[in-house]
Structure 1
Amino acid sequence: MSSVRKRQTKLPTPLENSDEFKQFEETSKSGLVNNSAANELQWGHWKIIIGIFTLLLFGSLYLHKCLPTPKEPNEDYNSFSEIRAQKILYELSNYGPKPAGSVACEQLTRNRIYEELKLIKSSASAFVNFDIDTQFASGCFHIPKFDVDGFTICYRNVSNVMVRIGQVEQSKNERKIAVLLNCHYDSWPTSSAGSDDLISCALMLEIARLLSKAPQKLHHDVILLFNGAEESSLQAAHGFITTHPWRHDVRAFINLEASGSGGRELLFQAGNFWRYYFKKSSILSGPANQWLLNAYLEAAVHPHCSVIGQEVFQSGVYPGDTDYRVFRDYGKIPGLDLAFVQNGYWWHTEFDEAVRITNGSLQRAGENVYSVLTHLLASPYLERPAEYGDKRSVFFDFLGLFVVVYDVKISHMINIVAIFIGFLVTMARFFQDRNLYIRAFVEYFAVLISMVAVTYGMTKMVAFLYGTLQWYTHHWIAAIIYGIPIVWTGYATQTFFTSKLASYQILKFSDCLESIHLAFIAAILMIFTYYDVAKTQKLLIFPLWLILPGAAMLVYTSEMLISIFIPIMGRTSSNPEPIVASFIALPTVLIMLSLLPFFAKTKTNREPNECGPKDFVYSIFGIFFVMFLIVSVLSAASPSPFRYKYEYPTAKRTQFFHVNRLMHNRDGSIIANDSRLYAISHDYRGAEDIPFVKSDPEWQEIEPIYTHSHFKDIPYYFPTRARIDNRHIRYRVSEEQIKFSKPTKITLNSKKQTSKSEIEYDLSVSGFGQMSVYMVADPQWIITEFTALPVETYKVAPIEKDTSLFLFLTCSSPENHCTWNFKIVMSLLPSQTPDQEKPLLIGASSHYIYGPEMQSKSLQQIESVIRDNRLHSNQWTITPSSWNADLVYRYF
């Protein structure tokens, strides 16, 4: 007889018999907890939350744009006065564009600064030495790949004006150490340079005036460098820091720059941040002294600084560079880099005029720099810098009110402790209610993934419906097209999940979400402390109070980044939508995640049977459909993202070249001898966004003659080939042939086969004062050596061994025409056999960025049409930089 044992299956405890339910029921009957009050947030609660975050938003906007009132000059000369400094600023700006080598730069601007310094010296205190000097520097150096390709720079006779201010020396043999302040008075070829960088020069002149009356503040010397060639690739600063006798006395520097126009200046470089990570890099070997940052943090009247700005700039994402690089890399000097970063629409355009600089900008920057400088002069930092260490710090200002700074080691310790505590608390709660916690964990990240996915989808939708840059003029559009769907998705997804819960589970589920969020922030964003949420009826005040400081910093930092980077997107060739969407998404997603416990407690009308996968898909689809309508309406209302208002233009950046081309084959025969017009768009919308290019089929894509050259026969001014692809450039043949007074020439002086695998060239290139030279070796060869002759003048500039070389040549001379001599060495790659007698292709383009031959009639006509039409049409809101160029290519 066999017996069969039946398996006994343990049925789940009925919901009404569970311990949790009984406890909830007893508590409810006792009156300690009311279901609707304890487990649900009402509309009144959300009014408070929305009101607080609205106050945060508008408060941060106000603080971000808050500037001091300009001060009147006083007779005691004991405080910085914007009104006194403005006079020469307006005068210098009114000289118009002033590129290095031009009359406006080398005579008008330079001489005016020199005369102002002489005037200050004439009224200086008898106890102050006020030594004025000038310099005309020549040299060569190499800049590694950063936001442009690596290239070699040579310059001749670029100008500097300097003044050294100090106490009357007791001993003539005593050599005093000094702090260097730097600005540049040259400009982009088509800009008046009101903010970049004449505002800084006016600031330094005012500081010179104040110091000339204050010998008691001059515990050490101050050197003010007004350099005349920064826009031409940092040349004048290099000339000073490598050849001028005063360079040996400099212990620290403050570089004053601009990538915008006015507003609050930002400290965005202090020491070499990336050296912390790349200690063995010879390129990144500059100093990173904490003491200099301390001086700023201790003394700045209106501090505005962020390690985020330093990270972004030095990573190469930011398209630009400053003299900071030269002082750091070639002078091995620690320094601060301060820049005006607001209103970046006008940087390097016709709109960068002194009249557009916001009142109070110069006052704010002047008070900061003067206070930091005098504090530094009186501190022990300069005499004993080694005692104050060489370390990296995390620093930021809180809403512009005060500065937070701490050592990176402390930051690591805080992060480790926070992550450890977060992990322990998370695990403790996990074992209290494993099933509910797993559910909360899955749903938390489901909400996060949903918000990220919707953001990504919105970038694609916007690019499809509008192109890009819809938010370029009005930043609030970015908040609408990216912020609204994130908020909507986060709320809808979380309430969708919560609707499936029994009412007695909501409070504990909310606590689980809170715990997961804190652990997530600890691990990813490295919070400083871990906070808990009391299980009481105080559902709103305590957790919201803990959220607010972080939320305030998120909103403030996001506003700073958006105001800086949205104008920069107008000169970025890659798709800007993911970047701007990230700036909106990061604070919004983090704030939404912190509010998930509140969403879980919010009463909804959704029934549990309305929470299936199909309902979720419909919900997300509905979000996209509504956003599709919103984006479509915005697109129809404003087809172009650009606006022309004289007070605040936000124009499309373009370049137009009129180029004479003379192209040779290997046998010396001429392939092309023609004249072309080039149209270049600097934003992702491309050249087809230029109205007359889009409507005229004669504007064509580039078809290079020399297919092995990555320069594509384009007369590049800077080595920006990575920024200019086929979508950004068009050309058409021009009937107007330019007749240059002195055409560009390339001459072979000698060619020696020094060995079977090496060729040495002696070459000459002659042309206008500003030239770009492109050298391309056949694939079997690499260029291993470049020397500008005579070597005793230009020294040897190390280059990166490659198949190509870009030279940027600036020559300041009365006749605006120069000849350069070079020695080039090429080496055969291993296991390669040369197949051509002339393996080196050289192109040279003279860029007529100033003078009577700057613009042809064709370019003048293009600019005239643009300026007439942009008054009436947003599509024509374009700011052109245009000049003639003479391009020659030959094989050797």
Structure 2
Amino acid sequence: MRRAWLGIATVVAAVVAVALLVARPPPPRASNAPPEAFSEERAWPVFLHLTRTLGSRATGTAQWRPAAAYLLEKLRELPGVEVELQEGPGVVQRGWIVESVQYSARNVLARIPGRSQEAILLTAHYDSALEGAGAGDDGLAAAALVEVARALTAGPRLERTVILNLSGAEELWVAGAPRFLEHPWSKDVTAFVNLDSMGTRGRLLLFRVTEGDLGLLEAYARAAPHPHGSAFAQDLFKTGVIPSGTEFAIYAEQGKLHGLDLALYEDGYAYHTALDTPERVERGTMQDIGETALAVTRELASALPNERSAIGSYYDFLGLTFFTHTPQGMVGLMALALLAAAGAMGTVLRRELRGVRWMLAGLLSSVLGVVASLLAAALGAGLLVLLGRTFGWFATPWLAVVGFGGLALAGFLAVQHLWVRWAMRRGVTLREVMLGTWAGALGVWGLLGAVAVTQGAGISYLPLWWLLPGALGLAVAALAPRYTWAGWLIAFVPGALLTVRLGAMLLAVFIPMAVRLSAGIPLDFVIALLAALPVALCALVAVPRALEAGAPGRVSAMAGGVALLAVVAMAIVPPFSAARPQRLRVEQRDEAGRSTLLFRGGGGQDLQEAMKGLAGARRAEAGQWRLDLGEAQSLEQDAEITPQAAPSGAGLRKVTLRLQARGAQELKLKIPRESLVEWSLGPLPELRAGDTFYRAGHVEPPPEGWEVTLTLRGEAPVPVEFTQVFNTPSPEAQTVLDRLPEWVSSHARRYRSRMLSL
């Protein structure tokens, strides 16, 4: 019995190790690599200059223009490359709050001529978030594209032209991409590759492709040296649960271009914080970015697929190969898998089982096992919520795997223990229990696969890798009992590798993202589900083989005991650390003569521990704390109001505002919807039903001031809110922020507001 359980545990451990190891990036290539190859060592000085020498490069800040100038200089060193700075005013519409924002674009463009004018676009952004140096997001990719351009010029001339857009305003509501689409070069682009990031480590994940572009996927599959992608990531983006976006949507929707979206996803703890520094980056990650971008660009520039086909699913297998399927192909493969599973189940019935009811009982025990797994993990999360010790998995994510995953295993084994006892009382042998449960597990996977395919879900590839090998393995075990172990290995290993890899990816994305999510339930339940589901899915095939060894109840108790210890540890350990901090959104509000700091946390975090060192801080709205800083500076001299001649039409009047920045990086206006007829900023944005204000802004306002003319309805005074936005807080506010614990990451913007009566 012990040997059987030890053997299963050894196989499971090996599967987990392989699934995690293949996700590591390749070693960086040295600076003496062939000139036509990508070298991380050659690109590293560009990366360090952007992220360490310049630091934060947010749009409109002091280092934004020097960053563009530096990239222009490096690209102009390359022979035969046309380089241009796309600069000029633009307007972007912000989405979640409808706002019309003026800004200055500074896109760094490069054009590597091919034999034809038809072009492939490579794009990344060199600007960063305000909070940090943007090493992962997106300094790695920006520096990599400079080296990619050098490698392309060192190789033979390509059939198609290659254009680089190093976007200068991606973090400003993806404002750089729309400006590029106004450039004449954009008219030549037929396909694009977008590179972005929400992490600092690991390998690029292909997580989105434009609809119907199976040919682009196949080109990626042919070219990428270490392909890494999953259609399930695209499924998730379609649901809107991931609170991030890239310029991919602009090129695909506004530009009507065909393209691929690739991004880093590991170590999201540093995303949009001061921790996103070059010291945090894993060496080899840029090598993966550059090798992938270079190879895929050469493939697309040489043999761009013209035919379009619908996409059913896509995924890589351990980075060794990449599979792409049409919807019809997925239906055919699933039908084949279901037939194979039915054949294997029929073989078991004919040779081993005494009636179909034992197979149906095995199917029922498998379904109940999955349900018990998820319930057990949810109970563990519920215990943490009841104790008020949420987020205990955030800084130590392996505790979530051991705790919630261990509870899931214990729940599954507990059901199997009851099933074994019930069956043996009725004279069923352990081998019959094992084969019946194994066949039942195939039935569960068959149901999951059929549902996934009929719904057109990209994740439908996963059931295939459990059904086809599972059917073969079960047939081997039924036809040649002496090779049952070999049959089980065939059935378990391929599907488990993909399941563990996908589960690790989801945890790597969602655990760091938890401090940015808004959910209707405590996020402990979400993380418990993500940790438990891969365990339950693997247990469907792993546990039946163990049943013949006996003692599932004893192993269930052991797994549950270890898991409960991990849950207790999650209730005790600090939930956050300096490397994996609690994230606070902080605003300094100067209005009505008073200055106040507002603290907000994401993910339903309780801020009480973070606020302990701030005397005078108090709870305000749900999830928000306030701290009064005293009197605020007046804005009386920063707005000039000049009435204009009334336009034709009764009841209308014009007012011109000249608004001064006084060192602010952004100016804002908020105007009542019912009073505004038109403004000098272009067409009024289309508001949603519940919006009561028109909002306008100007990033990096001109020194002479921002002039806006409003056409208002009626003669009654109209209250308009004018706000100056500073990227840094006042010295007094910064003193307060410095008293926050080291496990808190915060960055405050200062908003100085006053009401204008027009």
The alignment's TM-score, normalised by the length of structure 2, stands at 0.87
Give 1:89 shift.
1.1
**Structure 2 residue 47 is the aligned partner of structure 1 residue 89:** yes
Render the CA deviation track for 1:844-884: whole Å, top value 9, x for unaligned: 533211xxxx3212222023223xx52xxxxxx11111121
Matched residues in 2 for 1:746 and 1:289: separation?
54
Contact conserved, 1:79 with 1:210, CA < 8 A, in 2?
A: yes
Quote how far apart the aligned CAs of 1:331 are.
Answer: 0.8
Work out which of the residue numbers 5, 9, 16 in structure 2 matches 1:50: 9
Partner of 1:598: 545
CA contact (8 A) 1:774 1:805 kept: yes
Q: 2:294 maps to what in 1?
A: 370
Look up the match of 2:101. 154
2:700 is the alignment partner of 1:812? yes
Aligned partner (choices 101, 112, 116) of residue 70 of structure 2 = 112
Match of 2:733 in 1: 859
Which of 730, 738, 746 aligns to 1:880? It is 746
**Residue 750 of structure 2 aligns to a residue in which SS?**
strand
Residues 806 and 424 (structure 1 numbering): CA distance in 2 closer, same or farther, change over 3 Å? farther
> Equivalents in 1 of 2:69, 2:402: separation in Å?
51
Who is 1:72 aligned against? 31
Q: Does 1:140 align with 2:18?
A: no
Which is further off, 263-272 or 46-55?
263-272
Change (3 A) 1:301 1:890: same
Change (3 A) 1:320 1:606: closer
What letter matches 2:332 in structure 1? M
What is the rounded CA distance, in whole Å, between the counterparts of 2:443 and 2:635 in structure 1? 69
SS of 1:103's equivalent?
coil
The amino acid of 1:789's aligned partner reads S
1:798, distance to aligned residue in structure 2 (A): 4.7
- Shift in Å, 1:626: 7.3
- 8 Å CA contact retained: 2:126, 2:168: yes
**The one of 583, 589, 603 aligned to 1:659:** 589
1:688 matched to 2:608: yes
SS at match of 2:63: helix
Q: Kindly tell me: are residues 443 and 209 of structure 1, through their superposed partners in 2, closer, same or farther at Cα, counting changes over 3 Å?
A: closer
Match of 1:549 in 2: 494
CA positional deviation for 1:769: 4.0
Distance 1:760 1:326, change over 3 A: farther
Q: Deviations over 1:284-340 (max 9, x none)?
A: xxxx42222222111111211111122222321111111111111111111111112
Q: How far is the alpha carbon of 1:56 from its aligned partner?
A: 0.8
Distance in 2 between the 1:824 and 1:523 partners?
A: 62
| Matched residue type, 1:732 | L
- Distance change (3 Å), C-alpha of 1:84 and 1:698: closer
The question of whether the paired residues in 2 share the 8 Å contact of 1:465 and 1:631 is answered with no
Q: Could you tell me which amino acid in structure 1 is paired with residue 186 of structure 2?
A: R
CA shift in 2, pair 1:773/1:546, >3 Å: farther
Residue pair 1:656, 1:859 contacting (<8 A) in 2 also: no
> How many angstroms does 1:225 deviate by?
1.2
1:510 Cα deviation after fit: 2.9
Q: Post-superposition shift, 1:843?
A: 4.1
Query: Does 2:92 match 1:165?
Result: no
Aligned to 1:234: 174
Once residues 559 and 537 of structure 1 are traced to their aligned partners in structure 2, the CA distance between those partners, rounded to angstroms, is 34
Structure 2 equivalent of residue 514 of structure 1? 438
Q: Which protein shows a greater Rg?
A: 1
Residue 144 of structure 2: which of 182, 188, 203 is its match? 203
> Offset at 1:462?
1.9
Contact 1:746 1:844 in 2 (8 A): no
Contact (CA 8 Å) 1:774, 1:804: kept in 2 or not? no
Shift in CA distance, 627/84, structure 1 to aligned 2, threshold 3 Å: closer
SS at structure 2 position matched to 1:470: coil
Q: Secondary structure at the match of 2:752?
A: strand
Partners of 1:191 and 1:351 within 8 A in 2: yes
- Measure, in 2, the Cα distance between the counterparts of 1:321 and 1:332: 17
Q: Structure 2: how far apart are the matches of 1:303 and 1:350?
A: 31
What's 1:641 paired with? 575
Structure 2 match to 1:493: 415
8 Å CA contact retained: 1:751, 1:762: no
Matched, 1:847 2:742: no
- The one of 254, 257, 274 aligned to 1:330: 254
Between 414-423 and 84-93, the greater mean CA deviation after superposition: 414-423
Is the partner of 1:734 in helix, strand or coil?
Answer: strand
Q: Note the residue ranges of structure 1 that are not aligned, 5 or more in a row.
A: 1-41, 170-174, 273-287, 608-618, 663-672, 703-725, 826-835, 871-876
In 2 relative to 1, CA 235–435 (structure 1 residues): closer, same or farther, beyond 3 Å? closer
Q: What is the match of residue 706 of structure 1?
A: none
Deviates more, 1:550-559 or 1:579-588: 579-588
Q: Which amino acid counterpart does residue 879 of structure 1 have in structure 2?
A: S
- Residue pair 2:269, 2:513 contacting (<8 A) in 1 also: yes
1:350 aligns with 2:274: yes
Match of 1:472 among 370, 377, 394: 394
* Secondary structure at the counterpart of residue 65 of structure 1: coil
Q: Between 494-503 and 329-338, report the one with greater CA deviation.
A: 494-503
Report if the CA contact (8 A) 1:743-1:886 is conserved: no
Structure holding more helix per residue: 2
Following TM superposition, by how much is the alpha carbon of 1:52 offset from its aligned partner in structure 2, in angstroms?
A: 0.5
What is the alpha-carbon distance in structure 1 between the residues aligned to residue 553 and residue 309 of structure 2?
A: 59
Residues 1:765 and 1:184: Cα distance change in structure 2 (over 3 Å): farther
**Which residues of 2 match residues 778-797 of structure 1 at below 5 A?**
789-791=680-682, 797=685
Correspondence for 2:528:
581
> What is the CA–CA distance in structure 2 between the aligned matches of 1:61 and 1:605, rounded to whole Å?
28
- Mapped to 2, the partners of 1:457 and 1:602 lie a distance apart of 29
Gap change, CA 1:577 and 1:839, over 3 Å in 2: farther
Equivalent position to 1:735, from 590, 608, 630: 630
Q: Which whole-Å CA distance do the structure 2 matches of 1:345 and 1:559 have between them?
A: 16
Shift in Å, 1:367: 1.0
The answer as to whether partners of 1:395 and 1:404 remain within 8 angstroms in 2 is: yes
Could you tell me how far apart the structure 2 residues matched to 1:162 and 1:605 are? 63
1:160-206 alpha-carbon deviations (Å, 9 max, x no partner) = 22121215x8xxxxx81111111222211121112211221111111
**Do the aligned partners of residues 358 and 679 (structure 1) sit closer, same or farther apart at CA in structure 2, a change above 3 Å counting?**
same
Matched, 1:463 2:385: yes
Are the counterparts in 2 of residues 195 and 261 from structure 1 also a CA contact under 8 Å? Answer: yes
Q: Which runs of 5+ in 2 are unaligned?
A: 451-462
CA offsets 1:326-383 (integer angstroms, 9 cap, x no match): 11111111111111211111111111112321111111111111111111111143xx
2:315 pairs with 1:396: yes
The match for 2:507 among 557, 562, 571 is 562
Size of the aligned set, in residue pairs, is 726
Pairwise CA RMSD of aligned residues?
3.5
Q: CA deviation at 1:403?
A: 1.3
Partner Cα separation in structure 2 for residue 747 and residue 679 of structure 1: 37
Q: Partner amino acid for 1:352?
A: D
Match for 2:284: what amino acid? Answer: G
Give me the identity figure in percent. Answer: 20
Matched, 1:182 2:123: yes
Deviations 1:75-111 (CA, angstroms, capped at 9, x unpaired): x6211111111112111112122221122102x2111
Deviation at 1:824, TM superposition (A): 8.3
1:27-51 CA-partner distances (Å, limit 9, x unpaired): xxxxxxxxxxxxxxx2111111110
Contact 1:468/1:684 (CA < 8 Å) preserved in 2?
Answer: no
* Shift of residue 505, structure 1, vs aligned partner: 3.8
Residues 841 and 414 from structure 1, CA distance in 2 versus in 1: closer, same or farther, beyond 3 angstroms?
A: farther
Which residue identity does 1:456 align to in structure 2?
A
Question: 1:696–1:863: structure 2 CA closer, same or farther, 3 Å change rule?
Answer: closer
Quote the offset at 1:804 in angstroms: 3.6
Q: Secondary structure at the match of 2:74?
A: helix
AA aligned to 1:770 is: E
Distance 1:56 1:291, change over 3 A: same
Q: Distance in 2 between matches of 1:864 and 1:520?
A: 54
User: Cα distance, 1:55 vs. partner?
Assistant: 0.7
